């Protein structure tokens, strides 16, 4: 499933604070200079200062969420998947939107919040702004995030992989797995057995489904999973990288987001 696809994670507090400042300034500039949603009709002392105060409704949630997501990241074996990212972006926006509504009630208009008022706020202010804010936030997280790889030693064990066809199954030990390549609706799995034999199996499946059954593998490209133990050489750079594996006759491309993480991972190889 695409929801289980590994994606970049903003692990650094420095980058998170930088993203938070960008988004808070972004909100302030829009409200003060563009004055959307009839903001120009609002007249009160210190109007611009109060409008700038909405930035606090961004700063507080983003810093709070980062504390929680780092814990969540560690509990998911230091792998950040697409569904984690979507959840954080969705929950984060509604958290921000709720604080903006409360700020509007208590600071801007001095009125008590109500459920009806929150519903009206979501329909006329929150949801129309969601597409712009979430898209910009998602881009910043992707831009300043990175794919990290766990340095934890993986225990060798017998693995059973099932394909989509009836009775389609192969078994092997983890340290025999070299790589897997996706092509259309099929997966080629390359093994190097205990008897020093090179084997290739083809199953009807997708890379994401294979990754669900083989989470200890390392994704280096949308079409490739590898076992980093078999890496012979990492070539190229972030823009155009590739990895050479022992016991297979092909060069595996490495996507830019995976290159830096893979390079760092190799530093811990014996």
What is the arrangement of strands in the sheet containing 231-236, beginning at the earlier edge strand? Answer: 231-236, 241-245, 251-254
Number of H helices, E strands in the chain: 8, 10
Q: How many CB atoms lie within 10 A of CB 195?
A: 7
Query: What is the rounded radius of gyration, in angstroms, for the C-alpha atoms of the chain?
Result: 24
Helix axis angle, 56-75 to 82-103, nearest 10°: 150
Per-residue pLDDT tens, the chain, 270 aa: give them.
Answer: 466 677 788 888 999 999 999 999 999 999 888 888 777 777 888 889 999 999 999 999 999 999 999 998 888 767 788 889 999 999 999 999 999 999 999 999 899 999 999 999 999 889 888 999 999 999 999 888 877 665 555 566 788 898 888 888 899 999 999 999 998 889 999 999 988 899 999 999 988 888 888 888 888 998 999 998 898 888 988 888 999 999 998 899 998 888 877 877 676 554
pTM score of the predicted model: 0.68
Confirm if 174 and 156 have CB atoms less than 8 A apart. Answer: yes
Give me the phi and psi of 36, to 5 degrees please.
-75, 175
CA distance 214 to 231: 18
CA distance 230 to 226: 8
Confirm if 4 and 208 have CB atoms less than 8 A apart. Answer: yes
CA distances from 27 to 22, 136, 248 (A): 9, 11, 52
């Amino acid at each position: 499933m695409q929801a289980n696809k590994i994606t970049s994670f903003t692990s650094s507090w420095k980058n998170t604070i930088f993203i938070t400042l960008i988004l808070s300034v972004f909100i302030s500039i829009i409200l003060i200079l563009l004055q959307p949603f009839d903001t120009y009709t609002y007249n009160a002392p210190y109007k611009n200062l109060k409008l700038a105060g909405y930035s606090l409704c961004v700063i507080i949630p983003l810093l709070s969420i980062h504390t929680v997501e780092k814990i969540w990241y560690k509990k998911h074996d230091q792998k950040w998947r697409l569904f984690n990212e979507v959840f954080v972006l969705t929950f984060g926006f509604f958290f921000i939107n709720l604080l903006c509504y409360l700020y509007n009630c208590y600071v801007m208009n001095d009125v008590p919040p109500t459920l009806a008022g929150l519903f009206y706020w979501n329909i006329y202010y929150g949801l129309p702004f969601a597409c712009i804010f979430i898209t910009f936030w998602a881009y910043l997280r992707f831009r300043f995030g990175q794919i990290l790889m766990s340095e934890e030693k993986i225990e060798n064990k017998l693995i059973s992989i099932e394909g989509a066809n009836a009775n389609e199954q192969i078994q092997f030990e983890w340290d025999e797995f070299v790589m897997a390549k996706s092509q259309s609706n099929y997966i080629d799995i390359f093994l190097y057995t205990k008897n020093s034999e090179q084997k290739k199996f083809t199953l009807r499946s997708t890379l994401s489904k294979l990754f669900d059954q083989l989470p200890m593998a390392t994704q280096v490209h949308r079409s490739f999973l590898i076992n980093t133990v078999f890496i012979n050489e990492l070539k190229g750079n972030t823009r155009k990288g590739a990895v050479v594996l022992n016991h297979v006759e092909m060069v595996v491309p490495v996507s830019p987001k995976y290159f830096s993480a893979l390079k760092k991972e190799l530093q811990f190889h014996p």
